[in-house]
Chains A and B, each alone.
Chain A
Amino acid sequence: MVSLEDVYHTAELAKIEITEGEAEKFRKEFEKIIDYFNILDEVEEDIEPTFHVLPITNVFREDVEGECLSQEEALSNAKHKEDGHFKGPRVVE
């Protein structure tokens, strides 16, 4: 069972504003999808999980200076900027 509260809580975690109508639509869809996911309950617990498929670990490079973006390039896609900096929303409410 997926409740409306579950949907609102998840939307809050994901930082996506949703309307009441959307919440009910998502609730119905999530219930069906999560019900399908529950097939994994049949799988036994005692198995080592795989997070990476290839045995590549600790990829290092020399600590040398490389090319990087200019300030202008880095800011070129930002709508809000000031004095060569990104301008973000207020963090302290």
Chain B
Amino acid sequence: MRVTEWREKVETQGCYDAISEMLERIEKSKLNAYITVCRDEALKMAEKYDRGELKGRLAGIPVAVKDNISTKGILTTCASKMLSNYKPVFDAHVVERLKAEGAIIIGKANMDEFAMGTTTETSYYGVVRNPYDLDRVAGGSSGGSAAVIAADEAVLSLGSDTGGSIRCPASFCGIYGLKPTYGLVSRYGLIPYANSLEQIGPMADCIDDLALLLEVIAGKDRRDSTNSGKEFKFVPEDRKLKVGVIAEMGGNEDVMKRFSEAVEVIREKHEVEEVSMPSFKYALAAYYIIAMSEASSNLARYDGVRYGYALEKLDSWRRYFSKVRAEGFGDEVKRRIMLGSYALSAGYYGKYYLKAQKVRTLVIRDFKKAFEEFDVLISPTMPSLPFKIGELADPLTMYKADVNTVPINLAGLPALSVPIGFEKGLPVGLQVIGNYFSENTLLNFGKWLGERMQD
């Protein structure tokens, strides 16, 4: 549902009624998209709206927030047993911005544990099901944030994207999702997994809504030292672009069928050419090494002392920490922390971690060169249709599903997933990649393409 449709609904039946209806739908839902539903608070805010006391650009609009984004006094679990009773004592920057604009936080969206996964199957709270086929996954790690948009269990949502975690579920659920340029949106209050790669971003049913949410959350925040201080303003533009199709990023037959059709549509208005990015051969390995290394350092904070899962009795520190972490973390989180520790350990630093950061330089160089010639680059967002639940049981097979999305995070660029229709009844997404801070171009192009593909 779009913001304009929601506003019409509120106009006729009142916000309280509209929110009640949505809460009822969530209650009956089979998707498992929420970890926490903020029922009482949402209804209270709706009443406030009906009394004319809730003002702002998002006044009265129900927004879902991924459960790794801190919400003061509301459970923020990261879909982990480790944080299953953690209530932050402060709001993330983006949550402050939502509240300041009158948004109604309707719930905390399910996700992969600590955002580590491509299917939400690593969630301590169970998998998020795909709204188009309940036997398939909604994608990950922001699976809940995507599913709620597709199923009208929220109007807008926030996700986070470390290696594709907004774009993958957006593609699998047939909605729009944007991973902004690194530094456009403050990460203050985002529970970290891999700081140098991740960004919070908007997810919505159409580009206008995505742009509205981005305008609200982007901007200066000195509590994130990597924040660029730049604001975002959506300005409609209509120009002919030079579009590069990335040769190294493909997909299976089902995906390529839809993708090729989209390329033909793009060709009607824009100039399209193929472009080769040789460094991408190494991008997936480099991405996982960096993400795991940063995870091993970030997740060292979970020791069962200041917050999070704790044992009844304190023991010697070595036994206590090791036991808290053995019981509090799921298998995928353990794998990434351990492999990250391995990649950073004596004797392997140069071979893995440092080498991965060198690959990062090569990836940036390839993008720089491409953007000298092209305005935007495109690829299928995901190499396949939404997976069956249980299909990606092998970890390395799951990692390889991220092959089209991770190079963007290595370079810190913005990228958008645009729904381009269905294949075998399942949604397909097209990824549009832009130069640094070129979100306006991406959104305008995405709007044009998305509307054309729905014709």
Q: Shortest Cβ distance from A86 into chain B, in angstroms?
A: 6
For the complex, give the distance between the alpha carbons of A40 and B284 in Å. 10
Q: Shortest Cβ distance from B240 into chain A, in angstroms?
A: 29
Q: A89–B320 contact, CB under 8 A?
A: yes
Q: A77–B282 contact, CB under 8 A?
A: no
Asked whether B360 is an interface residue with its Cβ less than 8 Å from the other chain, the reply is: yes
Asked whether B266 is an interface residue with its Cβ less than 8 Å from the other chain, the reply is: no
In the complex, which residue of chain A has the Cβ closest to the Cβ of B72? A73
Q: A50-B364, A53-B411, A80-B305 are in contact. Are A89 and B317 (CB under 8 A)?
A: yes
Q: B226–A37 contact, CB under 8 A?
A: no
For the complex, give the distance between the alpha carbons of A67 and B222 in Å. 14
Q: A43–B364 contact, CB under 8 A?
A: no
Asked whether B306 is an interface residue with its Cβ less than 8 Å from the other chain, the reply is: yes
Q: B355–A43 contact, CB under 8 A?
A: yes
Asked whether B242 is an interface residue with its Cβ less than 8 Å from the other chain, the reply is: no
Q: B325–A77 contact, CB under 8 A?
A: no
Q: Shortest Cβ distance from B69 into chain A, in angstroms?
A: 17
Q: Which residues of chain A from 38 to 88 have any CB-CB distance to chain B below 8 Å in the complex?
A: 39-43, 45, 47-54, 56, 59, 61, 69, 73-74, 76-80, 86-88
Asked whether B412 is an interface residue with its Cβ less than 8 Å from the other chain, the reply is: yes
Residues of A within 8 A of B87 (CB): 76-77
Q: Which residues of chain B from 261 to 319 have any CB-CB distance to chain A below 8 Å in the complex?
A: 281-282, 285-286, 288-289, 296, 300, 303-308, 310, 314-319
Interface segment, one of B55-63, B162-170, B329-337: B329-337
Residue count of chain A within 8 Å CB distance of chain B: 51
Residues of B within 8 A of A73 (CB): 89
Q: Shortest Cβ distance from A65 into chain B, in angstroms?
A: 15
Asked whether B396 is an interface residue with its Cβ less than 8 Å from the other chain, the reply is: yes
- The 8 Å CB contact of B352, one of A13, A29, A37, A54, is A37
Asked whether B257 is an interface residue with its Cβ less than 8 Å from the other chain, the reply is: no
Q: Give the size category of B's interface with A.
A: 35 or more
Q: A16-B334, A74-B89, A93-B316 are in contact. Are A10 and B305 (CB under 8 A)?
A: no
Q: A89–B316 contact, CB under 8 A?
A: yes
Q: A11-B338, A33-B339, A86-B305 are in contact. Are A39 and B281 (CB under 8 A)?
A: yes
Q: A26-B338, A80-B310, A93-B318 are in contact. Are A43 and B358 (CB under 8 A)?
A: yes
For the complex, give the distance between the alpha carbons of A87 and B285 in Å. 41
Asked whether B354 is an interface residue with its Cβ less than 8 Å from the other chain, the reply is: yes
Q: B183–A54 contact, CB under 8 A?
A: yes
Q: Shortest Cβ distance from A91 into chain B, in angstroms?
A: 5
Q: A29–B317 contact, CB under 8 A?
A: no
In the complex, which residue of chain B has the Cβ closest to the Cβ of A40? B355
Asked whether B6 is an interface residue with its Cβ less than 8 Å from the other chain, the reply is: no
Q: Shortest Cβ distance from A87 into chain B, in angstroms?
A: 7
For the complex, give the distance between the alpha carbons of A91 and B317 in Å. 6
Asked whether B387 is an interface residue with its Cβ less than 8 Å from the other chain, the reply is: no
For the complex, give the distance between the alpha carbons of A80 and B317 in Å. 14
Q: A40–B361 contact, CB under 8 A?
A: no
Q: A69–B338 contact, CB under 8 A?
A: no
Asked whether B228 is an interface residue with its Cβ less than 8 Å from the other chain, the reply is: yes
Residues of A within 8 A of B317 (CB): 88-91, 93
Residues of A within 8 A of B318 (CB): 15, 93
Q: A56–B226 contact, CB under 8 A?
A: yes
Q: A15–B358 contact, CB under 8 A?
A: no
Residues of A within 8 A of B89 (CB): 69, 73-74, 76-77
Q: A59–B326 contact, CB under 8 A?
A: no
Q: Shortest Cβ distance from B158 into chain A, in angstroms?
A: 22
CB-defined A-B contacts under 8 Å, sample of 20: A16-B337, A17-B319, A17-B326, A18-B326, A30-B339, A34-B342, A37-B285, A40-B286, A43-B359, A45-B358, A47-B362, A50-B357, A56-B225, A59-B225, A77-B85, A77-B307, A78-B305, A79-B304, A88-B317, A93-B318
Instruction: Rank and list the top 6 A-B pairs by shortest CB-CB distance, nearest first.
Output: A53-B412, A49-B357, A77-B307, A79-B310, A89-B320, A17-B326
Report B's interface with A, CB cutoff 8 A: 85-87, 89-90, 182-183, 196, 222, 225-226, 228, 281-282, 285-286, 288-289, 296, 300, 303-308, 310, 314-323, 325-326, 329, 334-335, 337-343, 345, 351-352, 354-362, 364, 394-396, 399, 410-412, 436
Report A's interface with B, CB cutoff 8 A: 6-7, 9-11, 13-18, 26, 29-30, 32-34, 36-37, 39-43, 45, 47-54, 56, 59, 61, 69, 73-74, 76-80, 86-91, 93
